[in-house]
Amino acid sequence: MQEIRCGECHRKLATVRSFIDLQIKCPRCRTLNHLKAPSLLSECPEHLPKKEQTCPSPPLEACSQV
């Protein structure tokens, strides 16, 4: 669980489990707080950047990765 606090007066506005896009107006100072979740794709294993495969030996003419 993550606490959401006002960016201006730091009053606790909410406790959330997850969100994509969130707007909360602080009842104390009337600041509109707009929060966006970090990219969910970066946490998903199938969307992680893949390492480029390289040959363990020096490139040869027959190597398919030259």
Res 30: pLDDT: 96
Domain chopping of the chain, boundaries: 2-39
DSSP string, 46-63: GGSPPPPP--SS---TT-
Give the pLDDT confidence of 5-54 residue by residue, as tens digits: 999 999 999 998 888 899 999 999 999 999 888 765 455 555 555 555 55
Residue 26 has a CB neighbour count (10 Å cut-off) of 17
* Three-class SS state of 41: coil
Using CA atoms, how far residue 13 sits from 1, 19, 37, 59, in Å, is 13, 14, 16, 59
Q: What is the pTM of this model?
A: 0.54
The helices-and-strands tally (H runs, E runs) of the chain is 0, 4
